Structure 1
Amino acid sequence: MKYLFSMLLLGLFCLNNATAQQHEIPQKIESIPFSIGKTDQIKSKILAENRTLNIYLPDGYHPDSAKTYPVIYLLDGSANEDFIHVAGLVQFLTMTETMPAAIVVGIGNVDRKRDYTFPTTIAKDKKDYPSTGQSAKFISFIGKELQPYIEKNYKTNSSKMLLGQSLGGLLATEILLTSPSLFNQYMIVSPSLWWDNESLLAKAPGLLKSLPAQKIKVYVAVGKEGAVMEGAAKKLSETLKSTSLEVHFAFLPEGNHANVLHNALYKGFELFNPKK
């Protein structure tokens, strides 16, 4: 009897020991930061302030390599805005060979209403948004300071894309119409063309008469965002299609103003890079 009892205790001990070993929590060997990019701070003389650039470099990028890359310039590119999900989208579509590897430059915001809007004649907008109306200065910053900085410090080629949504889409449209050669690819999502009573949309046909000879691709997208936003985006697309530009338009009814950007860009990257 004592022998049987001893064997039972031994069996229980072995069972408990084995169970404890199965559920033992692993000890940490190492913990290192996980990063998807880098941040550069530059001083702008044009804007008279420091600006933050969040930069994603593609897999295999090396500063001493002869290989060069397209650059995607992202408005609303702060870390708490669109930089992380857009960089992730570019990484994924590069991995699946949907698009070529590219550098993403997220332009961090300081005052987007100031930087993304031209002067308005609407008294209420002037009162509600007193800092607005300085987009010309911001466009000058992009062309004279930002792009030269990126081209000097990173392995870039001649392909330059601009991404903008909402007020960023308004600015992207203004650049396309007034300084089109700054970029050769534009992705304009949910543009706030209602600004200044749609004056930019009204001026578009005249401004488009002086397009450069270079090939420029344009993608306009909008979600289910109401008659004003949807109508303006469609009208912009139709106006652009009457020119030499390569124009794509997408209406994405499953998206709204808050969440349409990611899916819109996914579709846009596919349209700009059709499978051969």
Structure 2
Amino acid sequence: MRFLLSILFLFTGNFVSAQNTKANQSFQIGKIEEIHSAILNETRTLNIYLPGGYSADTLKTCPVIYLLDGSANEDFIHIAGLVQFLTMIEKMPPTIVVGIANVDRKRDFTFPTTIKKDLVDFPTTGFSTKFISFIEEELQPFIHSKYSTSSSKTIIGQSLGGLLATEILLNKPQLFSNYLIVSPSLWWNNESLLRNPLTEINKTDGKKVYIAVGKEGQKMEADAKKFADLIRVNKKISVKFNPLPKENHLTILHNGAYQGLEFLFDSKTN
């Protein structure tokens, strides 16, 4: 009996010890990287989500999602959660998410404006060209060199992030395969992006573009639809315009991104 009690005590002690060890562990959904940008003259933080079972040996290549507003207290956690869930139910392949943490989103996501009031209210704006160069010349090569990536690259942007994603699509569409654009701030600079010549986008093909907008005011809703209609002229681009009238500017991203990822990664729409 004494022997049995000793064995039981030993087993119970080990079990409790194992539970305590697990209880003290951190639960992690990603890793943090830093990249120094010579173009921006600053070090930028990246939040990286790697799909379950990821390793350079077992997963040869993965698509990459580049998430604007990708700070931990912004959109990274819930977008990574959507990607994990959609991967689990086999709606999309195992995918890496690169959340680009913000320093000054008004500076990085906007091109110069001629509107005097905006220049007064938002004095740091107007440097999207440098940020786009950072993505093209520094960030994408950095991710490609460190991770097993395929040629599939998606950008997700909302609001001013949607403005930046639109600017890239119209001027440098080759930077991404897929564009997930939610509530783009196309009102910027008196809607000048909507008057841009479509020279570059008319030369591209095989892109998939998803545009969502909620109940967000007549101008934003009309601009989003006009933008979708403009790029639909190129029949070689697959476009989905998705009005979500039950959502507003604060609530739209999660539902909009869920439906957008389903569309972008649906093989039937390729």
Which is worse superposed, 217-226 or 264-273? 264-273
Q: What do the CA deviations read for 1:156-183 (whole angstroms, capped 9, x no partner)?
A: 0000000000000000000000110000
Q: Give the secondary structure class of the aligned counterpart of 1:113.
A: helix
Q: What do the CA deviations read for 1:73-94 (whole angstroms, capped 9, x no partner)?
A: 0000000000000000000010
Of 201, 221, 231, which residue of structure 1 is paired with 2:212? Answer: 221
Which is worse superposed, 87-96 or 210-219? 210-219
Query: How do residues 107-146 of structure 1 correspond to structure 2 at under 5 angstroms?
Result: 107-146=100-139
Amino acid at match of 1:262: H
Residue in 2 that maps onto 1:19: none
Give yes or no for contact 1:180–1:212 (8 Å, CA) kept in 2: no
The reply on whether 1:249 has 2:241 as its aligned counterpart is yes
Residue 67 of structure 1 deviates from its aligned partner by: 1.6
Residue in 2 that maps onto 1:269: 261
Give yes or no for contact 1:221–1:250 (8 Å, CA) kept in 2: yes
1:98–1:169 CA distance, 2 compared to 1 (3 A): same
Q: Give the secondary structure class of the aligned counterpart of 1:207.
A: coil
Amino acid at match of 2:20: I
Residue 211 of structure 1 deviates from its aligned partner by: 3.7
Give yes or no for contact 1:40–1:55 (8 Å, CA) kept in 2: yes
The 2-side partners of 1:195 and 1:42 are apart by: 29
The 2-side partners of 1:201 and 1:258 are apart by: 24
Q: Which protein is bigger by CA-based radius of gyration?
A: 1
Q: Give the secondary structure class of the aligned counterpart of 2:243.
A: strand
Residue in 2 that maps onto 1:6: none
Residue in 1 that maps onto 2:3: none
Give yes or no for contact 1:98–1:275 (8 Å, CA) kept in 2: no
Q: What do the CA deviations read for 1:199-232 (whole angstroms, capped 9, x no partner)?
A: 01111xx224554444111000001101011000
Residue in 1 that maps onto 2:162: 169
Which is worse superposed, 66-75 or 122-131? 66-75
The 1-side partners of 2:266 and 2:96 are apart by: 20
Residue 196 of structure 1 deviates from its aligned partner by: 0.3
Of 79, 84, 88, which residue of structure 1 is paired with 2:81? Answer: 88
Residue 56 of structure 1 deviates from its aligned partner by: 0.1
Q: What do the CA deviations read for 1:62-109 (whole angstroms, capped 9, x no partner)?
A: 123352100000000000000000000000010011111100000000
Of 40, 45, 62, which residue of structure 2 is paired with 1:47? Answer: 40
1:90–1:66 CA distance, 2 compared to 1 (3 A): closer
Give yes or no for contact 2:174–2:204 (8 Å, CA) kept in 1: no
Residue in 1 that maps onto 2:222: 231
Residue in 2 that maps onto 1:106: 99
Residue 133 of structure 1 deviates from its aligned partner by: 0.2
Superposition CA RMSD, Å: 1.5
Amino acid at match of 2:26: P
Q: Structure 2, unaligned stretches of length 5 or more?
A: 1-15
Give yes or no for contact 1:180–1:211 (8 Å, CA) kept in 2: no
Give yes or no for contact 1:77–1:105 (8 Å, CA) kept in 2: yes
Q: Structure 1, unaligned stretches of length 5 or more?
A: 1-25
Alignment length, in residue pairs? 249
Q: Give the secondary structure class of the aligned counterpart of 1:249.
A: strand
Query: How do residues 74-85 of structure 1 correspond to structure 2 at under 5 angstroms?
Result: 74-85=67-78
Give yes or no for contact 2:173–2:204 (8 Å, CA) kept in 1: no
Residue in 2 that maps onto 1:17: none
Q: Percent identity?
A: 60
Q: What do the CA deviations read for 1:108-153 (whole angstroms, capped 9, x no partner)?
A: 0000000000000000000000000000000000000000000000
The 2-side partners of 1:275 and 1:241 are apart by: 20
